[in-house]
Amino acid sequence: MKRNVFLMAMVVLANVYLVGFAADALLSFADEALSAAGNKTLSPLRNLVAGLVLLATPVMALIVLFVPHLPKLVFLPLIVFIVWAAFGAVPLFPANDNESMLLLLMGLQVALAVGAFLILKARTGSWLLSAAALPYKRHLVARTVAAAAFLIVALPILAGALGLFAIAAVLEAESGGYLDVTSSGIDVRETILTKDEKTVYLVGMMHIGETAFYRTVFEGFPSDALILAEGVSDRQNLLSSDLSYHRVARVLGLEQQPALADQSGAGAQPDEPATDAGRNEEPGGSVDARATGMPEVRPADVDISEFSEVTLRFLNAVADFYASRSVIELIRNSDPLSNEFSEEDYKLVFSDLIGKRNDRLMAEFDAAIVDYDAVVIPWGAMHMPGLEAALRERGFSAAPGRVIPVVRFRNLIDRWTAAPN
């Protein structure tokens, strides 16, 4: 029996996607192998084909969903792979920056393409789909309604979950495990480093969390310790507006990180935190609080004027984004962050916000450790891998400390679903 024109058209599109996926797999594998030898002649063609396959994947997902005749065993693995790779191929990310891991990833794509062709050959006797060989399906209206319901309800949830999982994997990797996203919430880790009679407490921090998190962190500081505080100053007023987490924290039902001095009763710190760069007002001088039995808080960060022009432009773009007062303004202010900075720009920003500030902190540490037996470094979790490595180079040995809950997902859900007073 002759199949209808729509089904025949869908078969053509499915075959084009299958061939495109296989071409992308072969080009990617060959390009990675050649790039390892310094030859990038295939890169432009590979990027073009990969981009077309990526754009076609949502369309193919809809075709597979609404055309039940197509063999899902052939196409779903291909679609899942492209989506997985687009979200960073977790948990391989960021290990996929490694050449061997990239070749493994591309090898998996080749294997999926070969498997798809073999399944078609075994089922239909042909390497490609044929409309005449497809099975006949009944109850198409009911199937279409069910597919539409899945599309409306399940797909956004799945996409959101995958996105959150990818973000969590990136954060965990970039923080060297100091930030841990579990099924129940988000935790941070503390490492205790010792050398002779000296002890250093590295505490990964988040600038937004539950009140109990900050209370637990601050109560764990030794009373006779020196706290080297995170906090970028802006003595020349170079930022266009304050970089504060307060609005975001309030929307989420969480708390912005309090000033350390407010918890310890010593030293002086600015009131409003900036991005993970720290805080955006000029910190005051510290005082020796050992006589009062409270930890001393000492600023140990840079001034914004020490950053590159690119980083300053980036921070101002972030400030404008945080200052958005409507969804439309939020979308408009996100455009510079997406389009005005190159990959090289972001490398420079990262070097300033992490590397340069870590260097300043360690210089302050080298001067302070002579006079203190205990030093606490409660900085953003992304700083921790570099700081731990620097302390190990100075002869400190590390042991695990506390694991501190930042946010419990159940608490968030309870706050969001609670009836307003």
* pLDDT tens figures, 88-144: 676 655 444 556 677 788 889 999 999 999 999 998 889 998 888 787 766 666 666
Place of tokens 């956004």: 156
Boundary of a domain, candidates 127, 153, 174: 174
Place of tokens 């419990």: 408
Q: Is 101 exposed, middle or buried (0-12, 13-18, 19+ CB in 10 A)?
A: middle
Please say if the pLDDT value at position 414 is more than 80: yes
Please say if the pLDDT value at position 356 is more than 70: yes
- What's the pLDDT at 203? 94
How confident is the model over 285-300, as a mean pLDDT?
Answer: 62
**One domain, residues 198 and 151:** no
**One domain, residues 198 and 162:** no
Mean pLDDT is lowest, of 11-15, 140-144, 180-184, for 140-144
**One domain, residues 73 and 44:** yes
**One domain, residues 260 and 386:** yes
**One domain, residues 83 and 184:** no
Give the list of residues 6+ apart from residue 373 with CB closer than 8 angstroms, or none. 197, 198, 199, 224
Number of structural domains in the chain: 2
**One domain, residues 302 and 381:** yes
With contact defined as beta carbons under 8 Å apart, do 296 and 289 qualify? yes
**One domain, residues 123 and 250:** no
Give the range of the structural domain holding residue 183, as residue numbers without chain letter: 179-417
**pLDDT 10s digits, 49-88:** 998 999 999 889 888 888 888 888 899 899 989 888 877 6
pLDDT greater at residue 144 or residue 351? 351
Residue 359 confidence class, pLDDT cut points 50, 70, 90: very high
- Based on its alpha-carbon atoms, the radius of gyration of the chain, rounded to whole angstroms, reads 27
